[in-house]
Chain A
Amino acid sequence: MRNSALITIEDLLKSYPMGKGEFIALRDINLQFEKGEFAGLIGPSGSGKTTMLNIIGSLDKPTQGDATVLDKRISRLSHKEAAALRNHHMGFIFQTYNLLPVYTVYENVKLPLLLLKHLSQKEMDGMVKDALEWVGLTDKIDSKPAQLSGGECQRVAVARAMVKRPKLVLADEPTANLDAKNAHNILQMMERLNDELETTFIFATHDEKVIKYLRRQISLEDGRVVADDIVQA
């Protein structure tokens, strides 16, 4: 195991009880991700992409083996420690945006900073402004999610994921609800943020539009890694 690895997954197995037996969602997973990667877990529905993303994101725990994320062993984290890890170092982007409907764009983006608890109002304002500038939404600062298009909502979600400048952003089917133009815009924006901020992006997707942008493609089938390809630019 290399010391520079941001994420190390070793002999990971994840199973769920199903009736009297169990369903194995992931098995024999051994992977490493470096800082600044723009990687994707690709495969059909049910291949285990989201499960793996959830384990990396400390939202779920492995049944066997382990994932070490930013030097934290996921299987050993308590609920509170996992929350703290996500709070400080991770950003999430979801297929359905998951913006909070009663909050404005500004408040949605600010929420992860409020949870950090150590930032002054001025610092937070500056960081939210930066994040909204990255995604080109400074003119929508007071809008509610219901007043935005799907593409704009996903840009807000990206801003919310990026606002605290996390080391790792996990995006689960981020373009599934977007048209081609919006999908490309969002991906170009993420690619730029990856270049500028060296944030590691890991996608779970089966969308060709996303796959084209990935610099590393990890293919999953029936819970197993069947290919791990570096794509030359």
Chain B
Amino acid sequence: MLTLQLAWKNTIGAGIRTWLNVIVLSVAFVTIIGMQGLYTGMLDRARDAMIRMELGDGQFWHPEYDPYDPFALSESHSAIPANLRDAVATGDAIPVLITQGSIFPEGRIKPILLKGIPPEQTILEIPTQSMVSDSDDDIPALIGSNMAENSGLSVGDYITVRWRDVNGTYDAADVRIAHIMETIVQSVDNGQIWLPLDRLHAMTGMENQATLIVSGEGARNITSAGNWIFRDIGFLTKEIDEIQEMSDSSLSIMYFFLLGMGLLAVFDTQVLSLWRRRKEMGTMMALGMTRGMLIRLFTLEGAMHAILAILAGAVYGIPLLTWFANTGFTMPEYVEDYGMALGRTMYPTYGLQLVIGTVILVFITVTIVSYLPTRKIAKLEPTDALRGKFS
């Protein structure tokens, strides 16, 4: 308690030196939380949007299906497995058929994926109801806003689509753009045209076949379907987790520099403080302080910078980060081409773990950095200290 009292007094008494350190540390502290929050928010939103618009409660994949191998698509479709048919019939699971195709916007060929989905489905938050049509001649299609922009398509436009049927024969038809959906999930948008499943069945001759089945809440208990492979959410969002891991390490470097600046300021202050206050240390020793008490006192003085930085960070950081979380951060347009569900505006998410973790990180690193120079005191002779010397 005594050491704490003295450390507090000395830290506040140091005036501008303390406050400069506190400012640098608190900026580092708030920036780390802000950036990590932005990043976490971005990935959480991406993960959430992917689950709602693409992944459902998991997917059953045809054994040949590989989303990274478009050439495998011609082989990766077959009849819906028997134990999933009931779930499909009741709408608890959605069959999706995927095949390759091409469109010809502005006279150039553009490879695309044709995805067939039942328009009446309610599991994925894709506006598939917009593809409901009474006319047999009309092929309504749903595309994402990026696809529309990149291909120069608007609602009501007709575009010629070419594909290969089940026998490998090329066929073509004009499809009508029934709706353009706004989505941040690029894997349901870029280079894709969604069609009613029965129409795609008819176009390709792949009646009652699917490439994958999206499982809904009502089909959660089904985890196997013949030789089809169940991919749970953990597997399907692995890419995001990998991106997170990768980015965590690159962000760590930035945090290291940010925090490093603050730590350097504290270290510098500690070293200068030890140098300037040698006589004070000698006096303290003459008054009866032990070296251990002095080491604790100086370390605590350094650690006080972290405590003050956390308090100062809270004073301006809480309103700033709350405002940031509410208004979001608008990204430049080009980020939509990244292929990830980033969204134009990103909203940071600050978890308790993030805030407490950062507080602990700042406190521990500052305390360690504060302690390092004070080890010199362990060898300090009182007579040398009183003369203003280090042993």
Residues of A in contact with B (beta carbons under 8 Å apart): 54, 57, 59-60, 79-80, 83-84, 86-88, 92, 94, 96, 98, 100-103, 107, 111-112, 114-117, 160
Residue B279 is within 8 A (CB to CB) of chain A in the complex:
yes
With a cutoff of 8 Å between Cβ atoms, the chain A residues found around residue B383 in the complex are: 54, 59-60
Which of A87, A98, A102 lies in contact with B288, CB distance below 8 A?
A87
Whether B280 lies near A98 (C-beta < 8 A) is: yes
Given A60-B382, A60-B383, A94-B386, decide whether A102 and B10 contact each other with a Cβ distance below 8 A.
Answer: yes
Asked if A79 meets B290 with Cβ closer than 8 Å, knowing A102-B14, A114-B5, the reply is yes
- Most chain A CB inside 10 Å of its own CB: which residue of B287, B289, B290: B287
Render B1-43 as a binary contact track against A, CB cut-off 8 A, 1 for contact: 0100110011011100000000000000000000000000000
Whether B289 and A83, one on each chain, are in contact in the complex, defined by CB atoms closer than 8 angstroms, is: yes
What are 22 A-B pairs with beta-carbon distances under 8 A?
A54-B383, A59-B285, A59-B286, A59-B382, A59-B383, A79-B290, A79-B291, A86-B285, A86-B288, A87-B287, A87-B288, A94-B283, A94-B386, A96-B279, A98-B280, A98-B282, A102-B9, A102-B12, A102-B13, A114-B2, A114-B5, A117-B2
| Min C-beta distance of A70 to chain B, whole Å | 14
Please, how many residues of chain B have a CB less than 8 angstroms from a CB on the other chain?
A: 24
CA–CA, A230 and B9, complex, Å: 46
Report whether B286 and A103 are in contact in the complex, using a CB–CB cutoff of 8 Å. no
Digitize B258-300: 1 where CB-to-A-CB distance is under 8 Å, 0 elsewhere.
Answer: 0000000000000000000001101101111111100000000
**Interchain CA distance A100-B279 in the complex, whole Å:** 9
Main secondary structure of the interface of A (DSSP, over half): helix
CA distance A84 to B286 in the complex (A): 10
Q: How far is the CA of A54 from the CA of B381 in the complex (A)?
A: 11
Q: Which chain B residues border A101 with CB–CB below 8 Å?
A: 13
Tally A-B pairs: CB < 8 A: 64
Q: Which B residues lie within 8 Å of A57 (CB)?
A: 286
Q: What is the bound-complex CA distance between A59 and B285, given in angstroms?
A: 8
B294 to chain A, nearest CB (A): 10
- B14 CB contacts on chain A under 8 angstroms: 102
A109 to chain B, nearest CB (A): 11
Cβ-defined partner of A84 (8 Å) among B9, B279, B288? B288
Which A residues lie within 8 Å of B286 (CB)? 57, 59, 86, 92, 98
Residues of B within 8 A of A111 (CB): 287
CB distance from B273 to the nearest CB of A (A): 12
Instruction: Say how far B279's CB is from chain A's closest CB, in angstroms.
Output: 6
Q: How far in angstroms is the closest Cβ of chain A from B343?
A: 52
Q: Is the CB of A115 within 8 A of B9?
A: no
A103 and B10 alpha carbons, distance in the complex (Å): 8
**In the assembly, what is the distance between CA of A117 and CA of B290, in Å?**
14
- Residues in A with CB closer than 8 Å to B280 are 98, 100
Do the beta carbons of B287 and A115 come within 8 Å of each other? yes
Instruction: Please state if A107 and B9 are interface contacts (CB–CB under 8 Å).
Output: yes
Q: What residue of chain B has the Cβ atom nearest to residue A93's Cβ?
A: B286
Q: Is the CB of A98 within 8 A of B279?
A: yes
Cross-chain contact of B283 among A79, A88, A100, A107 (Cβ < 8 A): A100
Q: Which residues of A contact B285 (CB under 8 A)?
A: 59, 83, 86
Complex interface: chain B residues within 8 A of A60 (CB): 381-383
Chain B nearest CB from A86 CB (Å) reads 5
Which residues of B are found within 8 Å of A84, using beta-carbon distances? 288
Name the residue in B2, B279, B280, B283 with the highest tally of chain A Cβ atoms < 10 Å from its Cβ.
B283
Complex: chain A residue closest to B282, CB-CB: A98
What are the 8 tightest A-B residue pairs by CB atom distance, in nearest-first order?
Answer: A87-B288, A102-B13, A98-B283, A59-B382, A92-B286, A83-B290, A86-B288, A115-B288
Chain A residues within an 8 Å CB radius of B12: 102
Within 8 A of A (CB), among B230-266: none
Neighbouring B residues of A83 by C-beta, 8 Å = 285, 288-290
- Report chain A residues within 8 Å CB of B288: 83-84, 86-88, 112, 115-116
Other A-B contacts than A102-B9, A102-B10, A103-B13, 12 sampled, CB-CB below 8 A, are A60-B383, A79-B290, A83-B285, A83-B289, A87-B287, A94-B283, A98-B280, A98-B282, A98-B286, A98-B386, A102-B14, A112-B287
